[in-house]
Amino acid sequence: MLVEARAKINLTLEVFGKRVDGYHALRSLLVPVSLADAIDVVATDDAAISSDSPYPDDLCVKAALRLAQCGAAASRTVLGARIHVEKRIPAGGGLGGGSADAAAVLVALNELWKLHLDRASLCKVAADVGSDVPALVAGDAVLMEGRGEKVAKFGSFPGFSLVLASPGVFSSTRDVYANCRPRMTDDPSIVYNMRSALLSGDFERVAAATVNDLAASACALHPEISLAMEALRSCGVSHPAMTGSGSTVFGLVPDEAKGREVAAHMEAKGYRAWSVRTLSGDVMAA
């Protein structure tokens, strides 16, 4: 079964204090974009789970193993899988590449193994695999809270074009969280402003409403990220932002033609860059 594993951007990302489990409490609006890995999942009857994902910490195998544990009780058949990953999303980029692959594997194997887990059960397994995985199982714009396990659909809004640019450095999520300064007070206006900006369809308003509490920490660890944002600014992007724990940066643009133009300028400056659109729609139905 061929499944698309879509990258995400964090339009807002607020980080609160550290929880007793060592994770930070957060609130983030995640939106899928049209840059995706292609995942081919084949169910096998030899009880082995294998993947050719290039990540050292292979979340595809972790996801399949967790789902197999969960499914073993319900199914009498042997649960094996062979997973082929065609990577297009850069690793360590804050685009949720590894998590999106894991989410796609969960969705595919739920069907191939005929487990019939509903979305809530699948999200529980996903939370065990990684913080961003439940949000990516949803495959739609979601507001994520807790350490990532609380996911609510955000509702629809007009799509928009943006440019992603990777400075090519690997940004460790763990290090960026460890180095960040969590906010002391909750500010409900951040999500409220973003929602009204998105509904207005005005991309400049959306860009101005972006928030990422991990940006200062990531830029301190990797100055290349600040330079990438400067480079976007010099291409006419008014409010460049960082996604997740970095290192990818993004800028909203009026349309795809402008997106292609900015991406070409960024590539000429030595960055990997993509002109993409936001997506909505259900990955479970893809």
Q: Which two tokens stand for residue 100?
A: 């999106």
Q: Which of 276, 270, 285, 215 lies closest to 246, judged by CA?
A: 215
Task: Output the smallest distance, CB 282 to ligand C5P, in A.
Answer: 23
**2-18 and 211-212 strand pairing:** parallel
Q: Clarify whether 258 is annotated catalytic.
A: no
In the complex with ligand C5P, which residue's Cβ is closer, 147 or 195?
147
Q: Which residue is nearest to ligand C5P (CB)?
A: 131
Query: Which candidate in 8, 37, 58, 101 is catalytic?
Result: 8
Q: How far is the CB of 133 from ligand C5P (least distance, A)?
A: 8
Closest CB to ligand C5P among residues 76, 174 = 174
Question: Least distance to ligand C5P from the beta carbon of 257, Å?
Answer: 35
CB closer to ligand C5P out of 107 and 135: 135
Q: Is residue 8 annotated as part of the catalytic site, yes or no?
A: yes
Residue 174 C-beta: closest distance to ligand C5P, Å: 4
Gap between the terminal Cα atoms of the chain: 11
Which one of 37, 58, 101, 132 is the catalytic residue? Answer: 132
Contact 268, 255 (CB under 8 A): no
Q: Which is nearer to ligand C5P, 79 or 218 (CB)?
A: 218
Interacting residues with ligand C5P (CB under 6 A): 23-24, 26, 130-132, 147-148, 173-174, 177
Nearest to 57 by CA among 156, 170, 148: 170
Give 74-101 as a DSSP string: T--S--EEEEEEE--SPTTSSS-HHHHH
Q: Where are the beta strands (DSSP E) in the chain?
A: 2-18, 24-44, 49-51, 80-86, 142-146, 150-153, 161-166, 211-212, 241-242, 249-253, 272-277
- What residues are annotated to the active site? 8, 132
